[in-house]
Amino acid sequence: MINKLAISNLPADMPAFLRSQAAIDEVEYLGPEPDRWRSRAEPELSAAQAPEHFINLDAAEALGPLPHKRLDFEAEVFAHGQRPEIIGLQPWETDEVWERLKAAMRQYRFLLAAGQDTKPVEDAILFYSGWLGHYVGDGSQPLHVAVSYNGWVGPNPNGYTTSHQIHHVFEGPFVAANIHAPDVQAKMTPAKVIDGDMFDAYVAYLHHAGTYLEKVYQLEKAGGFVGAGSQESRDFTAARLADGASMLRDMIYTAWVDSAQPVPEGRPAF
C-alpha cells in the first residue's frame, strides 16, 4: 500500500514512465521483495540483510552520533564489543538504496539527452523505487526502531504486552482487514523535495516514528488491534502508513531532482 500510494502521488514533473499504471503495479509488487529474501533456502542472504529492516535507535545512538557510512558505524559497534546485527542497520541500507535510485535517474537523464534507449534504466529505476519502499515502510512502523520491537522490554509499570505477537498482528492482519488506500491517501502530506542531507532527514523520520512506540502498546492493551479495533487504532495506523507513503514519494522525487546536479569532481576513493 505504501509503495502504491507513493508512486500514484508523484508530482506531474516526474518522468511519465514512472507515473504509469505499469509502474504503479511493478513498484507495488516489489514492496515485499526484501522479505522474500528472508528464507531458509538462502541462509547467507537472509543473515546478511535481516538487520537492514530495523534499528534500535537508543542502542545505536548510545555509541555517539550516527555516521553516514555503514562501515564507520559497524566499526564503532565492534569497537564497543557489540554486534551490528543486534542493533540494526536500517538507515544505512535505506540511504544506500536511495543513492542507487538517484544514480539510475542520472543515467536516465544522460541516455534521454543522447537519444538512446532508456527502457533498461527505466526498469532499474522501478526496481530501486520498489526496493526502497520496503525499508521506508519499515521505518514508518514504530516497532522497527526500538528494542521493544515485539513485546515490551525492561521496566513495565503500565503492564504492556510482553508476548511476541504484537509486531505481526499490528502490521499484518490488522492492516489487511481494516486499512484501505483511500483512508491512507487522505492523510498524506503534499509532495516536496527533501532539503539537506538525505541520511540526516531519514534518521529524523525514524525518530518521529519512534515517538509513537508507546502509543502502539497502549492501543494493543486496549484491544485496538483485535478484529476491527477502534476508530482511534484505525486512524493511528492509517496515519503511520501515510507517513511512510509520503516519505517514499518525497525521497523518489528528491532523487529525481538531485539527479540533475553535476557529479562532484575528484577521483573516487578506493
Residue-range domains of the chain with CATH: 2-258 (1.10.575)
In the prediction, which pLDDT does 264 show? Answer: 86
Which positions ≥6 away from 138 have C-beta within 8 Å? 53, 54, 90, 144
Structure confidence at residue 160 (pLDDT) = 98
Beta-bridge mates of residue 149: 151
pLDDT in 10s for each residue of the chain, 270 residues: 999 999 999 999 999 999 999 999 999 999 999 999 999 999 999 999 999 999 999 999 999 999 999 999 999 999 999 999 999 999 999 999 999 999 999 999 999 999 999 999 999 999 999 999 999 999 999 999 999 999 999 999 999 999 999 999 999 999 999 999 999 999 999 999 999 999 999 999 999 999 999 999 999 999 999 999 999 999 999 999 999 999 999 999 999 999 999 998 876 655
Q: What is the grid cell recorded at 122?
A: 527505466
Residue 265: predicted pLDDT: 80
* Burial state string for 89-108 with b = 16 or more CB within 10 A and e = fewer than 16: bbbbbbbbbbebbbbbbbbb
DSSP string for the chain: -HHHHHHHT--TTS-GGGGSHHHHHHHHHHTTHHHHT--TTSHHHHHHHGGGG-B-HHHHHTTSSPPSSHHHHHHHHHHTT--HHHHB-HHHHHHHHHHHHHHHHHHHHHHHHTT---HHHHHHHHHHHHHHHHHHHHHTSGGGSSS-BTB--S--TT----STTHHHHHHTHHHHHH--HHHHHTTPPPP-PPPS-HHHHHHHHHHHHHTTHHHHHHHHHTTTTSTT--HHHHHHHHHHHHHHHHHHHHHHHHHHHHTTSPPPPSPPP-
Q: How is residue 57 written as a grid cell? A: 535507535
Q: What is the pTM of this model?
A: 0.96
Residues with Cβ within 8 Å of residue 211, at least 6 apart in sequence: 142
- Contact call for residues 149 and 167 (beta carbons, < 8 A): yes
Euclidean distance between CA atoms 143 and 146, whole angstroms: 6
CA-to-CA distance for 270 and 268, rounded, in angstroms? Answer: 6
